[in-house]
Structure 1
Amino acid sequence: MFVIPPHLLPRLALCAALLGAGCGAGAACSRPIVVPVSSIGVVMVVDGERVSGVYPEVLRDLSEKSGCVFQFQVYPRARSDQMFFDAGTMDVTLPASFVAERAQIATFVPLVKILPTLVSLKPLAADVVSVKQLLENKALRGAVVRGFTFGKEYQALVDTLDKEGRLDMANDISTVARMLVAARVDFTVVPPHLLRAALANDAKGAVWLGQVKSQPLEGLPRIDSGVYISRRSLSEADQEALRVLFTAAARDELFVKGHLKYYPAEAIRGIVTRP
């Protein structure tokens, strides 16, 4: 009896989902898949027209194996979210956390689990180990990236800080890093490896890398981070092909392994894990 090797199962599943179209180049998707991108540390790197980083490189690898061609278009993060979720003019968006309301209009596939933490460059006036303590320390001011979402608990925290006038919104993580270096704000809430990468890519920020302090907060759990697949811009066949492709990639931990090409294992241990 012939037994299919386990490492071939994801590949065969994708072929089956494509209804016999084949697994060669150009076979998986009926057209190029449009992906909005914006700078997020080394997770997404935008340098003029050149796009690189963890997620673009994994997508290019997937493209070679599946035939689904991914076409990157550069936009600020908040703008790309608006074009995907509101206008419906983009095909997939990633990385993004699961939000129940968004899952009503697009299919979510978890790729990794991530842990947002309280991150600062200087010791805070008081020990803060919970969301409750952070809210109680009224003297502390923070900054976050507009359009970033890390679950409902994170959003509730951001909404409260914003309502109290204790929060600045930035267009990208590099701006948040510069605000911390300039002591304009005391903290941010983000997976710490994103801020470390932003500091490392900035001439003035790099000297602060040794000062990064990361504290998990009670009340802020680990969340699913993944990809949304549009139900409006894509055919049902393309939606299914992408769903199977990303599900197999997550099962094979391709996005976790992709992080390890850019970060030392200790930098993401406990922060980026399998879904």
Structure 2
Amino acid sequence: MTKRLTTVLLASWLPLAPALAAAPAPCPPATAGVSDLGYSSYLDNGAIRGSNIDVLEELQKRSGCKLTVRWYPRSRLYAQFFSQQLDLTGASLRTAERDRYGTWLPYTYTHFELVLLNREAGKFRSLAEFVARSTARLNITRGITYSAQTQAQLDRLQQLGRLEYVNDYSVVFRKIQAGRAEGTLAPATIHLLNQRRFGMVGQMSVSSVTESPRTMVGLYVSHKVAPEVLQRYADALRSIVADGTMQKFYERYLGAEATQRLYHDDARDILDALPPPR
């Protein structure tokens, strides 16, 4: 995956609806940062695509706020956000550190899964079992936040010499393909794209592990963004989730079965976590 910065002006893609164009308080243009996260955001011949880009495009349409999207290596994305070079980040898990710099607005789910070459796969119900009963090596990327329980097991793997951090998921799967690792920990949005991209469909098995339950993912909006603009983003995201548009975005990339595994119940907890509508 190239580390060059790629910029897309979403405003050039979408004419604003007349009702939004007539809004009494237009918001200033904003910049959102994204990085390599499989079908959430990926580079396709220089263009940034993915469900996260679809969300930002729809956010612009429904809020009336022009957005520019820029591509960063995962390890640089939050450094840019923390230094106030970005107004929004896409596809972010919530952390206490990030909360110091922005407001988190959830819009979907993610679920990190243990993905192994078939010859290494077993009936692992937890990462702890995998650590104890396997000799397989994992590669994961820098800049990803995991649950405390997951990180504890990853630390054990690293101490055993069975874990390596790399810059992005294309490197992860390239190394698996080359025999320098046997698996990774990644959500379906990431591992499905890379399995298809590297011709590994049917060669890998996926297991859910107890240390990594389904969790919400959202946008971080910088504290420098005006409260009324933040509210417009929140209201737009609420409508995207409530009317099923978000699930349709996921079905476009993952298919109905994988999307249903994520949205096995309604999205009420996402709606409850968003600021109340104005």
TM score, norm. by length of structure 1:
0.80
Match of 1:3 in 2: none
The answer to whether 1:24 aligns with 2:13 is: no
Per-residue CA deviations over 1:65-113 (Å, capped at 9, x if unaligned) read 32111101121011012211x3122111120112233223321122112
How many pairs are equivalent? 248
- Give 1:167 shift: 1.3
Per the alignment, residue 53 of structure 2 pairs with 56
* Cα 1:77/1:125, change in 2 over 3 Å: closer
Distance in 2 of aligned mates of 1:137 and 1:34: 46
TM-score (norm 2): 0.79
- The answer to whether the 8 Å contact 1:99/1:151 transfers is no
Secondary structure of residue in 2 paired with 1:155: helix
Separation (CA, whole Å) in 1 of partners of 2:39 and 2:121 = 31
Q: Residues 180 and 29 (structure 1 numbering): CA distance in 2 closer, same or farther, change over 3 Å?
A: farther
Q: Which residue of 2 aligns with 1:100?
A: 96
User: Hey, what does 2:68 align to over in structure 1?
Assistant: 71
SS at match of 2:165: strand
Whether the 8 Å CA contact 1:43–1:53 is kept in 2: the answer is yes
Q: For 2:148, give the aligned amino acid.
A: K
1:132 to 104, 128, 134: 128
For 2:105, the aligned partner's letter is V
Q: 1:40 aligns with which of 37, 42, 57?
A: 37
Q: What is the CA distance between 1:162 and its match in structure 2?
A: 3.0
2:112–2:212: 8 Å Cα contact kept in structure 1? yes
Percentage of matched positions with identical amino acids: 26
What SS is found at the alignment partner of 1:165?
A: coil
**RMSD (Å), alpha carbons:** 2.4
Find 1:222's aligned residue among 214, 217, 234: 214
Give 2:153's match in structure 1, choosing from 148, 152, 157. Answer: 157
The partner residue of 1:252 within 239, 243, 258 is 243
CA contact (8 A) 2:63 2:232 kept: no
C-alpha distance in 1, partners of 2:182/2:45?
A: 31
Q: Output the amino acid matched with 2:92.
A: A
SS of 2:59's partner is helix
Match of 1:262 in 2: 253
**Structure 2 match to 1:148:** 144
1:113 touches 1:224 (CA, 8 Å); kept in 2? Answer: yes
Q: 1:148 to 1:239 in 2, by over 3 A?
A: same
**Contact 2:27–2:64 (CA<8 Å) still a contact in 1?**
no
In the aligned structure 2, how far is the partner of 1:244 from the partner of 1:271? 23
Alpha-carbon contact 2:117-2:204 (below 8 Å) kept: yes
